[in-house]
Amino acid sequence: MSAATKADPATPAGSANALNRRRPLGDRGFQILALAAGLLVLVILVLITVTTAQQSTTWFSGGFKDIFQVAFDGNTHFGAMGVLFGTVISSVIGIIIGVPVSVGIALLLTQVVPARWARPFVYVIDLLAVVPSVVWGLWGIIVLVPWLQKIYLDIASGVKGIPVLDSLFGGPNVTGASFFTAGLILAIMITPIITSLSREVIATVPDIDKEGAYALGATRWEMIRGAVWPHSQGGVVGAILVGFGRAMGETIAVALVIGDSVEVTSHLFYSGHSIAAIIALQFGEANGGEFRSALIGLGLVLFVLTILVNLVARWFVERSSRRARGE
Amino acid sequence: MAAASDSLAQSVDLREPSGWRRSKNQIMTVLMWLAFVIVLIPLGFVLVTLVAKGADAISWQFLTNSTIPPNVLPLGVGGMGAAVVGTLEITGFATLLAVPLGVLGAVYLNEYGGNGILARLISFMSSVMTGVPSIVMGLFIYIIWVAHFGYSGMAGSFALACLMLPIVIRSSYEMLRLVPDSLRQGSYALGATKARVTLTVVLPAALSGIVSGALLAVARAAGETAPLIFTVLTVEQTNPNLFSGPDTSLPLQIFSNAQSAYTGANARAWGAALTLVAITFILMIVARIITALFTRNTR
């Protein structure tokens, strides 16, 4: 397992470049083409930042007072706080429900189910990822929302008067299309990505560590706690953050089930809104002026947020995979 | 000697794990299985509803009739032909843009970039870019294209291509890394140029993996709605011209019909949803078959 056996295989790059001057035109042309395609990623990311920033100056120049308010009515109020709250709260609900399930499945597929039987299970989880966002939204609005509405009303009347629970799950405006419904749909939608990234990380745990734990008399769960978890912790945190980023950016399913009203409230069964959903639903009506500028500005806010979350997430994942390789 | 081995046997507890430790292990195993079952419930629920409600709607007329009727009309009138054509055109053109560029980008990362700082930056940023919300891609294309040249199917393809590009780069890159170096060195030894080695030896060796990765990216793009809302707009007639004039697609029709209060529109939404899921499932299954063939060959 020394570093020498894992020597960098990409050495031919150097040897070919050494012949640079004598290389045929087509050969150099191909290299430039490949470089351009690679650079396209950076170009697109920079262009997104620049163009959205440029188009949203009207909104940003409105000043802090405008942006740091809750209301967003498309007329005189263009606050970011209400929709930002909806984005964060629905994603957090999605994470709270989705993470235990995803990590549980990842452990099941790597530690419990024998490797050769794991494949069909993986296919089933991948099916979740193939069902398009809009189909989850359609199912959510037509099937899930009316059904959940009754359950929410029962819960709301059940918790009436109980201090904390009442302000979370109670209240007079309980409705089927709400923060919580959006969170539930998000939990389903981010499970495949968290599961597959966690599986990758957990699969790198050396067998020798696991066998060592068993040799000491550990049960499987104790082995997971003692050998698997410490090794894959960082990577799993990264996977969760990637899932959080996905949840924040999820648009159509959330737009259909979150209920289309901008507010900040502790009541999870109330209808709300999210950044992505408000852009999707209202951009068509925003014919120029501050309205359009504000929606593009919200897009920029969402872009920057998800980029930051993903940067941290990838840093966690890469660090843990570097550690797994023993660097 | 005997006494020593006796004391060793006493100090190591060779008995079965005690009651609580064993129960805890079993509880945790049950919880892990439970997690899997919890995921099966919504998946099964959505698929059963989709097939039950979608099958009622789907007919030859539904799939081919080019006029999408107003929401108030019942299911028997018109069809989603325009949306089927739109989806195939828009996703197809996006694939034509994103797959060659993505594979070239991956070639740069693996064959030319090496461990250089630029290659590492591009590799890292492309995995970050897979997390950029699709609605932001829609806004971006709106600003740089639609605002100047108007709505068109092609604008939607641009937005989908932006979405697919990093996915294709990542999956192709992983596949290129698996190509053994001896293949490259053998070709260099025969005097081939780097471009030739890449095009005729490295890429064919990784082809099936690249194709299946690309198909998964296409499947994901085909189901995307958010990037299309304000690049393609939504019309009710087939638009044969991909390059000008607003168009429509299955996800867009599902989105607008799902918000309607009319049962006819909702039924059409389910029919369109079943059609869309069938398309993405077929793409995914083809990708799986290609991957399976590939792994058998390398074994």
pLDDT of residue A18: 47
Q: Tell me the three state secondary structure of residue A118.
A: helix
**How many whole angstroms separate alpha carbon B103 and alpha carbon B148?**
30
- Secondary structure letter of residue A270 according to DSSP: S
Question: B62-298, what's its fold?
Answer: MetI-like fold (1.10.3720)
Give tens-digit pLDDT for B69-123.
888 888 878 889 999 999 999 999 999 999 999 999 999 999 998 889 999 999 9
Residues 6 or more apart whose CB falls under 8 angstroms from that of A187 comprise: A93, A94, A95, A97, A98, A101
From the CA of B100, how many Å to the nearest CA of chain A? Answer: 9
Q: Which tokens belong to B203?
A: 């890429």
Give tens-digit pLDDT for B111-162.
998 889 999 999 999 999 999 999 999 999 999 999 999 999 999 999 999 9
Q: Which sign does the torsion angle of CA A138, A139, A140, A144 carry?
A: positive
Alpha helix ranges (H) inside chain B: 2-11, 19-57, 60-64, 81-107, 117-129, 134-141, 147-149, 153-177, 181-189, 194-197, 203-222, 250-258, 263-298
**How many whole angstroms separate alpha carbon B114 and alpha carbon B117?**
9
Q: Which of B173, B169, B146, B170 is nearest to B157 (CA)?
A: B146
CA angle (B30 as vertex; B27, B36 as ends), nearest 5: 145
With 80 as the cut, is the pLDDT of residue B8 above it? Answer: no
- A16 at interface of B, judged by CB pairs closer than 8 A: yes
Residues 6 or more apart whose CB falls under 8 angstroms from that of A315 comprise: A238
- pLDDT band at residue A115 under the 50/70/90 scheme: confident
**How many whole angstroms separate alpha carbon B155 and alpha carbon A111?**
46
- pLDDT band at residue A139 under the 50/70/90 scheme: very high
Contact residues, chain B, for A114 at CB < 8 Å? none
Domains recognised in chain A with CATH numbers: 79-322 (1.10.3720.10)
Q: Where are the domains of chain B?
A: 19-57, 62-298
CB-based contact A135 B254, cutoff 8 Å: yes
Higher pLDDT, B293 or A124: A124
With 80 as the cut, is the pLDDT of residue A327 above it? Answer: no
Average pLDDT over residues B265-283: 93
pTM: 0.90
CB-based contact B108 A101, cutoff 8 Å: no
| B25-41 as b/e: b if 16+ CB within 10 A | beebbeebeebbebbee
A293 in the Ramachandran plot: left (φ > 0), alpha (ψ -120 to 50) or beta? alpha
Q: What is the mean pLDDT of chain B?
A: 89
**How many whole angstroms separate alpha carbon A268 and alpha carbon A8?**
52
Contact residues, chain A, for B148 at CB < 8 Å? none
- pLDDT band at residue B265 under the 50/70/90 scheme: very high
pLDDT of residue A69: 87
Residue that has been written with the tokens 């960082």 in this structure: A234
Q: Which of A83, A76, A95, A113 is nearest to A297 (CA)?
A: A83
Average pLDDT over residues B259-284: 92
Question: What is the greatest pairwise CA distance in chain A?
Answer: 83
pLDDT of residue B128: 93
Question: What are A26-32's contacts with CB under 8 Å, separation 24+?
Answer: A26/B193, A26/B195, A27/B193, A27/B194, A27/B195, A27/B196, A29/B195, A30/B194, A30/B195, A30/B198, A30/B199, A31/B108, A31/B112, A31/B194, A31/B195
The answer to whether the CB of B232 falls within 8 A of the CB of B243 is: no
Burial class (CB in 10 A: 0-12, 13-18, 19+), A315: middle
pLDDT of residue B298: 53
For residue A287, the chain B residue with the least C-alpha distance is: B147
**How many whole angstroms separate alpha carbon A177 and alpha carbon A144?**
9
Average pLDDT over residues A101-118: 93
With 80 as the cut, is the pLDDT of residue A185 above it? Answer: yes
pLDDT of residue A20: 53
pLDDT of residue A13: 46
Backbone angles phi, psi at B155, to 5 degrees: -60, -40
pLDDT of residue A146: 94
pLDDT of residue A12: 45
B119 in the Ramachandran plot: left (φ > 0), alpha (ψ -120 to 50) or beta? alpha
**How many whole angstroms separate alpha carbon A304 and alpha carbon A64?**
18
Q: Which tokens belong to B194?
A: 């780097």
From the CA of A184, how many Å to the nearest CA of chain B? Answer: 10
- pLDDT band at residue B17 under the 50/70/90 scheme: low
Say which of A121, A296, A309 has its CB closest to residue B139. A296
With 50 as the cut, is the pLDDT of residue A10 above it? Answer: no
How crowded is residue B205: how many other Cβ atoms within 10 Å of its Cβ?
18
How many CB pairs below 8 Å do chains A and B form together? Answer: 284
Give tens-digit pLDDT for A225-263.
999 998 898 999 999 999 999 999 999 999 999 988 898
Residues 6 or more apart whose CB falls under 8 angstroms from that of B116 comprise: none
pLDDT of residue B240: 87
Higher pLDDT, A24 or A296: A296
pLDDT of residue B179: 93
Average pLDDT over residues A321-327: 70
Q: What is the mean pLDDT of chain A?
A: 88
**How many whole angstroms separate alpha carbon A155 and alpha carbon A83?**
26
From the CA of B274, how many Å to the nearest CA of chain A? Answer: 9
- A283 at interface of B, judged by CB pairs closer than 8 A: yes
Give tens-digit pLDDT for A16-61.
444 455 678 888 899 999 999 999 999 999 999 999 999 998 888 8
pLDDT of residue A89: 96
pLDDT of residue B82: 92
CB-based contact B226 A45, cutoff 8 Å: no
For residue B121, the chain A residue with the least C-alpha distance is: A42
pLDDT of residue A11: 42
ipTM metric: 0.89
pLDDT of residue A318: 81
pLDDT of residue A322: 77
**How many whole angstroms separate alpha carbon B247 and alpha carbon A200?**
40
The answer to whether the CB of B77 falls within 8 A of the CB of B64 is: no
Contact residues, chain A, for B196 at CB < 8 Å? 27
Adjacent-strand bridge partners of B245 = B152
Give tens-digit pLDDT for B140-152.
999 999 999 999 9
**How many whole angstroms separate alpha carbon A97 and alpha carbon A91?**
10
CB-based contact B43 A219, cutoff 8 Å: no
Q: Which tokens belong to B78?
A: 């018109």
Distance between first and last Cα of chain A: 11
CB-based contact B101 A41, cutoff 8 Å: no
pLDDT of residue A204: 87
Residue that has been written with the tokens 């188009």 in this structure: A55
Backbone angles phi, psi at B18, to 5 degrees: -70, 170
Which residues in A109-250 belong to E strands, given as ranges?
A: none
CB-based contact B139 A310, cutoff 8 Å: no
**How many whole angstroms separate alpha carbon A120 and alpha carbon A85?**
39
